[in-house]
């Protein structure tokens, strides 16, 4: 897994580690929801909470090239993930997760080196699940494009078909490093994309959070608390409407665990805009017939909220008790 651990990445990590279905070789971390050091610390917190021995590798502290163009970010409105109201700050992503501090340390090796070396030395193909900006994956593919032959598939959370969240048309992960996203989509790897369309269709509610907390496990409590925290922030900011709170990154993990959790998906040709204008970071899908582009990704459009919750409840019933 490659993460930028904030709230939904934490839930995605818990789901991957507790599912019992993965041999999780390592967790790599990039900048995204916060700086890479904070995201790494949060990742270590989650791993240590479950008492697992899974190596964590810190990766790229900045996007590949995006911030080299002066004023590029100013072409888009601020991507708001927190707000202060009546003296209280409401956050979509906490600066520190509400669990015990990390005890373990990150690995000395850089995340991109770990990705390249692990793929090159593996006798079996490996699935990558990136749930943050694709900087580490894109950089690893630039370092050694031959690693693609050992990638089983890349199942990523990113992009939006229509309304974005980081801008009017761009989702945050693609927005923060569109060049890396373009490299991944053009790599030749088998790719599945979980965009905002799918995650918004399978949002969770406060009653779902209560069910997770009622499991009496540390994982269930953390997941439930983070869902409530995200819901509070979205309500105050007015970004959620009447739908459930999307737990974007965990849906990507759930799709690897059970393909039935996505009820509508299409094989399409995908690209990413990185022109620096108002559409910077937009996922571009060419669905026209009669053109030369072949599909290069399977794009999820709708998720099964009930099945998603069942997968979560089954996994989060495991692990240490509160």
Of residues 271, 276, 319, 317, the one with CA closest to residue 295:
271
What's the pLDDT tens digit per position in 232-279?
A: 888 887 776 667 999 999 999 999 999 999 999 999 999 999 988 889
Residues that are catalytic: 4
User: For the sheet containing 191-194, what is the strand order?
Assistant: 126-128, 151-157, 191-194, 297-303, 262-272, 283-286
Average pLDDT, integer, range 176-191: 97
Within a domain: 8 = yes
Residue 80, pLDDT above cutoff 70: no
Of residues 144, 135, 251, the one with CA closest to residue 192:
251
92 vs 112 pLDDT, higher one: 112
Report which DSSP code applies to 146: G
Q: Say what the pLDDT of residue 76 is.
A: 61
**Residues whose CB falls within 8 Å of the CB of residue 200, separated by 6 or more in sequence, listed in order:** 243, 246
Within a domain: 247 = yes
Residue 210, pLDDT above cutoff 90: yes
32 vs 91 pLDDT, higher one: 32
User: Confidence class of residue 23 from pLDDT cuts 50, 70 and 90?
Assistant: very high
User: Confidence class of residue 72 from pLDDT cuts 50, 70 and 90?
Assistant: confident
232 vs 16 pLDDT, higher one: 16
Domain span including residue 301: 2-316
Average pLDDT, integer, range 81-102: 79
- Contact between 136 and 40 under an 8 Å Cβ cutoff? The reply is no
> Is 302 exposed, middle or buried (CB count within 10 Å of its CB: 0-12, 13-18, 19+)?
middle
Residue 16, pLDDT above cutoff 90: yes
| Mean of pLDDT over the chain | 93
- Contact between 267 and 301 under an 8 Å Cβ cutoff? The reply is no
Average pLDDT, integer, range 208-213: 98
Average pLDDT, integer, range 150-177: 95
Percent pLDDT > 70 in the chain is: 94
Q: Say what the pLDDT of residue 251 is.
A: 98
Q: What's the maximum distance between 2 C-alpha atoms anywhere in the chain?
A: 58
SS3 at position 236 = helix
Within a domain: 300 = yes
Residue 50, pLDDT above cutoff 60: yes
153/127 Cα distance (integer angstroms): 5
> Is 166 exposed, middle or buried (CB count within 10 Å of its CB: 0-12, 13-18, 19+)?
buried
Q: Say what the pLDDT of residue 106 is.
A: 98
Q: Say what the pLDDT of residue 87 is.
A: 78
Within a domain: 322 = no
4/38 Cα distance (integer angstroms): 9
Q: Say what the pLDDT of residue 269 is.
A: 95
168/79 Cα distance (integer angstroms): 10
Q: Say what the pLDDT of residue 81 is.
A: 67
Which contacts qualify for 68-72: CB closer than 8 Å, 24 or more apart? 69/276, 72/276, 72/280
Residue 77, pLDDT above cutoff 60: no
Average pLDDT, integer, range 269-298: 89
- Contact between 276 and 170 under an 8 Å Cβ cutoff? The reply is no
Average pLDDT, integer, range 287-314: 91
pTM here is 0.94
Look at 75-89, 152-166, 282-296, 298-312 and tell me which has the smallest mean pLDDT.
Answer: 75-89
> How many CB atoms neighbour CB 106 within 10 A?
19
Look at 45-54, 205-214, 276-285 and tell me which has the smallest mean pLDDT.
Answer: 276-285
Q: What is the number of H-type helices and E-type strands within the chain?
A: 11, 11
Average pLDDT, integer, range 121-131: 97
Within a domain: 251 = yes
Q: Say what the pLDDT of residue 78 is.
A: 58
List the CATH number of the domain containing 71. Answer: 3.90.245.10
Within a domain: 180 = yes
Domains: count for the chain: 1
């Amino acid at each position: 897994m490659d993460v930028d651990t904030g709230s939904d990445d934490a839930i995605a990590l818990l789901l991957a580690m507790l599912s019992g279905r993965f041999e999780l070789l390592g967790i790599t971390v990039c900048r995204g929801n916060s700086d890479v050091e904070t995201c790494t610390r949060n990742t270590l917190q989650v791993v240590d909470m479950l008492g697992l021995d899974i190596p964590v590798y810190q990766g790229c502290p900045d996007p590949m090239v995006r911030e080299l163009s002066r004023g590029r970010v100013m072409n888009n409105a601020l991507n708001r993930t927190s707000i202060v109201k009546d003296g209280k700050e409401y956050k979509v992503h906490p600066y520190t997760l509400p669990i015990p501090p990390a005890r373990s340390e990150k690995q000395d090796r850089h995340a991109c080196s770990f990705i390249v070396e692990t793929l090159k030395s593996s006798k079996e193909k490996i699935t990558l699940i990136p749930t943050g900006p694709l900087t580490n994956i894109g950089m690893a593919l630039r370092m050694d494009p031959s690693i693609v032959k050992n990638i089983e598939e890349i199942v990523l959370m990113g992009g939006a078909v229509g309304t974005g969240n980081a801008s009017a048309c761009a989702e945050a992960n693609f927005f923060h490093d569109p060049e890396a996203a373009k490299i991944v989509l053009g790599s030749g790897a088998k790719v599945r994309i979980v965009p905002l369309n799918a995650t918004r269709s399978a949002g969770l509610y406060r009653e779902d959070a209560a069910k997770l907390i009622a499991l009496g496990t540390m994982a269930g409590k953390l997941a439930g608390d983070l869902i409530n925290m995200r819901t509070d922030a979205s309500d105050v900011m007015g970004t959620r409407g009447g739908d459930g709170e999307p737990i974007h990154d965990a849906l990507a993990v759930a799709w690897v665990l059970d393909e039935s959790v996505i009820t509508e998906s299409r094989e399409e040709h995908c690209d990413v805009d990185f022109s620096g204008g108002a559409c910077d970071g937009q996922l571009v899908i060419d669905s026209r017939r009669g053109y030369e582009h072949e599909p290069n990704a399977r794009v999820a459009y709708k998720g099964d909220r009930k099945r998603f919750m069942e997968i979560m409840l089954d996994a989060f019933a495991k692990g240490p008790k509160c």
